[in-house]
């Protein structure tokens, strides 16, 4: 299916504030003659440094971009993180270059990784890692590339911004050193790479590159303010002079990048694209400063593909008899119960029991619910599920949570509920060394009570034969419907600016949200949806197993081939100015 770009036109307003008329004419001429021969995927996440869904996208889509669209060369350019990556997994290219940054020259070393892929068919492509002393020095126990210190406040923001500015300056120079100098489309991911839409244009003007354009994908609406004094550290004299004439002391990375990019802006699901200009949380909290840009140029949703295939045991079973699916599901459930009975790492707390004893004899009709992933109090909704759990009686439900947290205090509410709901809740606050596969395949329901969700992982639960329960938001709407899962949402009357502000202000102490009507309503509606789902599981087993097989069919909609085809339509707009 083609994306509808009929209403999209390139906005030249900011171009005229950063470049002179003759420079804009030169850039325009180079863009008009550009051919899509080199796609450079720019990301702060990679296979060795992961945080959220971007790493999964990065390690899935590149071969499809290349093969499906017959693009001669597709590469990844990403930072090397010395504190969370092993240099021995990469190979030195023996190529070095100096990047002028803040009136000094910083030496950059290029490392590479060859990715030999088998989908959509066999081939290989290169990943390049930029190593520079003093930059990309993220360090944390989760090996998250966005966390530069235990403090996630201003120090972390400053370090991230500095690394972003340096990366955006270095990338065009890295392409020059690699001998890739024309017919380039930079596919920029997130705000950290957005300013390549500026530095790449300068690279064309100063001869570092011959012809290149940019496309931007937003996986989130997170942004960063860039003071003009810092921006001048990565620009040449001509742009510095123009910047000096702009009123104010700066703009955000997206306020600059989204207006200088050469193609329609995309995000990772169709519904999230719409929510960026219709959801009060995005309009008034996360992205109020981008609303005029969105309204003028639009945001287009390109759904991600599936991050995993249907597990082998379920392969080809979308039309199988429910009893056949049930036998496999119960086998997976038994494997999960065995793991939960025996795997007790030191960090785990909260004991799962049945009638006060071991969970080993848990009857098949008692549901096991799982929620996994990083702990983000502004997004993921762990506290919403915790509040819903408190309303269940002993042995009515069993819940497993695996939050990846930063600070010990992040777990306070988990401890509180684990004590109140003794026997019903267990928490693994770390990356599981065993049991993750069993959680995905053996659980009755996978829960995603996200406050917002650009895409989400519902397709992963579907591939593992687990029914989803998710909040009606973003990409979860694209993935879950009443045929393959359950959606819930708070009552609309409570979705107010006042309640959303109060929610955001209690990001570090989620217990304070107990009096927030918006969050209360989310938890209440999740509880009611869980009760409905459990009833179907217990008293309408055919309905439950039908949801599993419908999930297998739904999964087939989300393909990287489709994503790659749509992104090529975006790239094609670069030369149509």
From CA 180, how far away is CA 184, in angstroms rounded? 8
Confidence band of 1 (pLDDT split at 50, 70, 90): low
Total Cβ atoms within 10 A of residue 249: 10
565: Cβ contacts below 8 Å, ≥ 6 apart: 68, 69
Looking at per-residue pLDDT, the higher value among 10 and 222 belongs to: 222
pLDDT tens profile 67-126: 999 999 999 999 999 999 999 999 999 999 999 998 899 999 999 999 999 999 999 999
The pLDDT mean for the chain works out to: 95
| DSSP string of 296-335, one letter each residue | HH-EEE-----SSPPPGGGTT-TTS-HHHHHHHHHHHHHH
> What is the rounded CA–CA span in Å between residue 266 and residue 215?
8
Is pTM beyond 0.85? Reply is yes
Find out whether the peptide bond into 120 is cis, omega within 30 degrees of 0. yes
The residue with tokens 């197993």 is 545
CA–CA dist 161, 150 (Å, integer) = 17
3-class secondary-structure state, position 49: strand
Joined tokens for residue 287: 């992205």
Residue 423 has what pLDDT? Answer: 96
- Residue 85: CB atoms within 10 A of its CB come to 22
- CA distances to 32, 65, 356 from 36, rounded to whole Å, are 12, 11, 64
Give SS3 for 115: strand
Q: What pLDDT is attached to residue 507?
A: 74
pLDDT value at residue 431: 83
Ranges assigned E (strand) in 205-349: 212-218, 225-227, 250-252, 265-267, 299-301
Residue whose C-alpha is closest to residue 398's, from 428, 443, 357, 438:
443
Which secondary-structure segment (H or E) carries 439?
helix 436-442
Number of continuous H segments (helices) and E segments (strands) in the chain: 21, 19
- Closest-CA residue to 38 (of 66, 79, 59, 64): 66
Rounded CA gap, 501 and 496, in Å? 9
Residue 330 above 90 pLDDT?
A: yes
pLDDT in tens, 445-495: 999 999 999 999 999 999 999 999 999 999 999 999 999 999 999 999 999
Distance CA 145, CA 81 (A): 7
User: DSSP string covering 142-198, please?
Assistant: T--TT--SS--SHHHHHHHHHHHHHHHHHHHHHHHHTT--SSEEEEEESGGGTTHHH
Burial class (CB in 10 A: 0-12, 13-18, 19+), 414: buried
Give pLDDT, residue 509.
80
Going by C-alpha positions, the residue among 466, 445, 447 that lies closest to residue 311 is 466
pLDDT confidence tier of residue 430, bands split at 50, 70 and 90: confident
Residues across the chain: 577
Could you give the C-alpha distances from 8 to 30, 53, 288, 577, in angstroms and in order? 20, 27, 21, 10
Structure confidence by residue, pLDDT tens digits, 160-207:
999 999 999 999 999 999 999 999 999 999 999 999 999 999 999 999
Place of tokens 């269940």: 392
pLDDT of residue 152: 59
Domains (ranges, CATH) in the chain? 13-305+561-575 (3.40.50.2000), 312-557 (3.40.50.2000)
Q: Which residue has the tokens 């949801």?
A: 547
Residue-wise pLDDT tens digits, 528-551: 999 999 999 999 999 999 999 999
The answer to whether 80 and 130 are in contact (CB under 8 A) is yes
Query: What's the pLDDT at 150?
Result: 60
Which residues share a beta bridge with 485? 468
For 181, the token pair is 């100098």
**Distance (Å, whole) CA 249 – CA 314:** 57
Query: Using one digit for the tens of pLDDT, what is the confidence trace for 236-270?
Result: 888 888 888 888 899 999 999 999 999 999 999 99
Chain-centroid distance of CA 55 in Å reads: 8
The three-state DSSP-derived secondary structure of 467-496 is: EEEEECCHHHHHHCCCCCEEEECCCHHHCC
Q: List, for residues 385-397, the tens digit of each pLDDT value.
A: 999 999 999 999 9
> Is 39 within 8 Å of 66 (Cβ atoms)?
yes
Residue 567 φ/ψ region, left for φ over 0, alpha for ψ in the -120 to 50 degree band, beta for the rest: alpha
pLDDT at 220: 94
pLDDT for 198: 97
């Amino acid at each position: 299916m083609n994306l509808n770009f009929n209403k999209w036109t390139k906005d030249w307003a900011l171009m005229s504030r950063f470049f002179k008329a003759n420079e804009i004419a030169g850039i325009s001429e180079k863009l008009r003659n550009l051919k899509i021969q080199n796609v450079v995927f720019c990301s702060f996440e990679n296979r060795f440094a992961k945080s959220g869904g971007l790493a999964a996208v990065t390690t899935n889509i590149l071969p499809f971009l290349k093969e499906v669209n017959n693009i001669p060369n597709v590469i990844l350019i990403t930072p090397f993180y010395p504190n969370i990556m092993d240099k021995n997994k990469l190979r030195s290219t023996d190529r070095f270059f100096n990047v002028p940054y803040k009136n000094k020259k910083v030496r950059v070393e290029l490392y590479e990784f060859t990715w030999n892929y088998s989908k959509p068919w066999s081939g290989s492509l290169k990943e390049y890692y930029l190593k520079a002393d003093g930059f990309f020095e993220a360090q944390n126990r989760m090996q998250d590339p966005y966390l530069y210190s235990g403090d996630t406040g201003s120090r972390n923001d400053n370090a991230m911004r500095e690394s972003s500015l340096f990366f955006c300056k270095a990338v065009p120079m890295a392409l020059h050193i690699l001998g890739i100098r024309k017919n380039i489309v930079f596919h920029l991911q997130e705000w950290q790479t957005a300013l390549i839409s500026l530095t790449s244009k300068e690279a064309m003007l100063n001869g570092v590159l011959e012809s290149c354009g940019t496309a931007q994908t937003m996986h989130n609406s997170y942004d960063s303010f860039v003071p003009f004094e810092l921006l001048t550290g990565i620009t040449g004299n001509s742009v510095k002079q123009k910047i000096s004439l702009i009123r104010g002391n700066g703009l955000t990375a997206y306020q600059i990048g989204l207006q200088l990019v050469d193609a329609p802006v995309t995000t990772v699901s169709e519904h999230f694209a719409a929510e960026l200009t219709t959801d009060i949380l995005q309009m008034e909290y996360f992205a109020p400063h981008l609303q005029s840009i969105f309204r003028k140029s639009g945001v287009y949703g390109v759904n991600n593909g599936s991050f995993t295939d249907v597990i082998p045991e379920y392969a080809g079973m979308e039309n199988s008899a429910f009893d056949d699916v049930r036998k496999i599901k119960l086998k997976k459930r038994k494997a999960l119960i065995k793991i939960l009975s025996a795997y007790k790492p030191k960090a785990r707390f909260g004991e799962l029991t049945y009638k006060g004893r071991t969970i080993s004899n848990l009857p098949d009709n008692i549901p096991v619910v799982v929620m996994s992933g990083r702990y983000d109090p502004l997004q993921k909704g762990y506290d919403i599920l915790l509040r819903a759990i408190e309303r269940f009686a002993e042995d009515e439900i069993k819940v497993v949570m695996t939050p990846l947290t930063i600070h010990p205090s992040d777990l306070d509410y988990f401890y509180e509920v684990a004590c109140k709901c003794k026997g019903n809740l267990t928490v693994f606050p770390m990356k599981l060394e065993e049991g993750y596969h069993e959680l995905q395949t053996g659980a009755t329901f996978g829960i995603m009570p996200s406050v917002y969700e650009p895409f989400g992982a519902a397709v992963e639960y579907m591939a593992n034969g687990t029914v989803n329960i998710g909040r009606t938001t973003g990409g979860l709407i694209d993935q879950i419907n009443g045929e393959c899962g359950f959606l819930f949402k708070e009552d609309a009357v409570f979705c107010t600016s006042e309640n959303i502000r109060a929610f955001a202000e209690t990001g570090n102490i989620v217990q304070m949200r107990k009096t927030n009507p918006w969050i209360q309503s989310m938890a209440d509606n999740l509880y009611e949806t869980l009760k409905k789902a459990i009833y179907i599981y217990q008293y309408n087993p055919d309905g439950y197993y039908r949801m599993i097989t419908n999930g297998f069919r739904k999964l087939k909609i989300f393909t990287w081939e489709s994503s790659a085809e749509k992104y090529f339509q975006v790239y094609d707009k670069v030369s149509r100015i």
